[in-house]
Structure formats: structure tokens, C-alpha cells
Amino acid sequence: MTTHVLIACSKTKSIPASNDLIWKAKTSIKSWEKAWSNQSELVPAHELYNGRAFQQQMSLCQERKNFQPHILSAGAGLISKIDTMIPSYEATFLRNCGPMVSDWCLLPSGGIGKLELKPNDIVVSFAPSQYHRALLKDVDIEQISRQLVVPSTSPLASIASSTLPIHPRAKEVLGVADVDLNTAFLETYLTNGVEGFENLVSACNDLPPIIKRRRVDDDELLELVSKLKQHKTLESLVRYLRDELKVAASVERISHARKIASDD
């Protein structure tokens, strides 16, 4: 049995895109495919994407047996073989910056139909929601639905054979920022499978209640900071405002108010 892992590409790439492979408002699938096929500078797909999340997720798959990574690309389609030679490009699922999700499977590398699965294989993905929306529109998605495993929060959850429970406070237990959450989810699955997510939900349920903080405008924040000059460091001031006064304000806003107060 092989577990096929669908990994989202990254915006950052090892070489710049040529001007005709930067998706613009007037770009069509046909013009994009023509420009794509005319490129002469090609690199292996797994070397083109050098974003941190992509590289980490690729490594997690490659260091384990029976896990095969594939790449979901907003400019290429489904790159089923990670050493496929492709050109650099700029395309996203944002309006006028890439294809509509309904056209994703028409991109140069095709869509989900390119996957070669055996009956007992599994397909799992923790890619951002826009990639899963594109997969949901793929004309061949039903071919893999019985083998598909995705988070319960995914647009694909309604058709997947299995969904993994996701608690809204999962990142607190995992100790990661939003940008690294999907990587942490993938590592959890590769290491402990479904049980890892069940344990994660249990740990989240044991967390203390979320502290409710009130929002303040800039004038009130400045007034508060001006009265708290005994806090000599920004860290001390931030902690007091958030933990003692239960104020919701970013470090940047607090730092800016502190500077104004000190100038006065």
C-alpha cells in the first residue's frame, strides 16, 4: 500500500519566471499552455519550489517508506512525478492572477486523473483550501474519493472516505503559527495516523478557556501606555496589557504607542 501525499507548491521559486509565464487578467488556459510549452529553461519540479513549508513537507514524505509526494500547482496542475522538468511561473488562485478553480485540471500537467493508484492506496492532503476547492472541481475527483483522507475542515471533506478531526485550537497544542500548521498536521498523520489527530483533539479539549480580551482604539491604547511608563521593556508592557488589563493589541501597535508616549 502506498500513501500518496498531495503537497501545495510554493510562491517562492529557485529561478524567476519569464514575463509570458506571469498570469495576467487577459491570460487564458490556451495562451498559458502555449507559453508553457515554449519555455526552454526547465528545472525538476521539486527543485523549483523553495518555500519552507513545501521543502519541509517534501522531506517528511521522502524520509519515509511507502509515502509518495505529488505537487499541486496553480500554474501547472497536478505534477504527479516530482522530478518532472517544468518552467518557473507566477500564478495563484487569486482573481486575475491565475486560473479559476474549475479550470485547474486543464493546466499543462493535467489534474487528478494523472494519479496512478492501486486499490489499497490512500491519498492524503493538507494543502490550503483553495487547492482543495480546485480538486473538488476536478472532473476526475470521484475516482479517488473512496481513497481520499483530508482534514474535517477541508472543502473536500464532503466527498472524502475519511476525515481527520481538527480542533480550532490545534496550533496551540502543536506550538506552531498558522503558516506552519499544515506541515504539523502532515507530520502528525505520517507519524501517528488517525490516532494522532484523536490525541490532538483530546489535548485541545484539556486546554484552559481562551482569555477574552477587549479591543481598544489607538487613542485609548496611547492613554493606557502613557500611564504604564514603569514598564521599562516592550515585552513587560505587552504582557501587562494583555494578561492583566486583558487588552487586545498587536505588538506593533503597542510599540508605536510606546514610542509616541516616550516622545511626549
Q: Kindly give the residue spans of alpha helices, DSSP state H, lying in the chain.
A: 29-37, 45-48, 52-62, 129-136, 170-174, 181-205, 218-226, 234-239, 251-263
Q: Supply 119's cell numbers.
A: 486499490
**Grid coordinates belonging to 33:** 499552455
Beta partners for residue 72, in sequence order:
8, 78
Query: pLDDT-derived band of residue 263, with 50, 70 and 90 as boundaries?
Result: confident
What whole-number distance in Å separates Cα of residue 148 and Cα of residue 173? 26
pLDDT at 232: 84
pLDDT at 264: 67
Number of helices (H) and strands (E), helices first, in the chain?
9, 10
Mind listing the pLDDT tens digit for each residue in 183-232? 999 999 999 999 999 999 999 999 998 888 999 999 999 999 999 988 88
Summarised one tens digit per residue, pLDDT across range 66-112 is 999 999 999 999 999 999 999 999 999 998 999 999 999 999 999 99
The pTM score is 0.82
